[in-house]
A and B are shown apart, each in its own frame.
Chain A
């Protein structure tokens, strides 16, 4: 069963703009991971953030985690057409060691 819910379900922006996607979850987590999936392909791991961390960066990606609100956000800065993909958050929660995915956000970056 799904643990996380993401919003928006779909996001369309122009190249160069920033894209923000949010993930909310229901139970206290150990870790939260963000993945990208190009159409019909496998999932590419982007960032893992642990429950005791608040922010992580990787290149143009910034992930924040607010455990009090049970939510995380993924920010992609200076977006490119190649960033067009679906983005999923996945969590494992205390007492359950395996990752389950949210519904995902479909990002379209227009050239």
Chain B
């Protein structure tokens, strides 16, 4: 089972709202990722968790707050977002961070976020 599940599939939120995106995998993977993808652009890395610890924050604004409650779950908490944050947010996982181990990264279907 190579499945990464993301909820919700679609989210519309106001600029003053607080919401969360959720991601779950049951493959025993110890690396999890958040990517952001704007229309007609490639995915951009936001955060990397390795063994439930934040390893990489690609200079993401603090209005995005990741959380890894356990090895199967990854959340992205959203607060005071701007309309330009509207995008497809993709969660992914791999056995461990790639590097020389050469691990495949598996992606979920994404959460479409619209900020109004």
Contact = CB atoms under 8 A, between A and B. Distances in A.
Contact of A97 (B6, B42, B98, B108): B98
B102 A42 contact: no
Contacts, number: 59
A40 B9 CA distance: 11
B112 interface: yes
B98 A30 contact: yes
Interface residues of B, number: 26
A60 interface: no
A104 B45 contact: no
B32 to A, nearest CB: 11
Nearest to A2: B42
Contact of A31 (B44, B45, B102, B106): B102
Q: Which of A44, A99, A101, A104 has the most CB atoms of chain B within a 10 A radius of its CB?
A: A99
A43 B98 contact: no
Given A43-B92, A101-B43, 20 more contacts: A30-B98, A30-B100, A33-B104, A33-B105, A35-B107, A42-B90, A42-B109, A45-B105, A45-B107, A92-B98, A97-B97, A97-B98, A97-B99, A99-B45, A99-B98, A99-B105, A100-B45, A101-B42, A101-B44, A102-B42
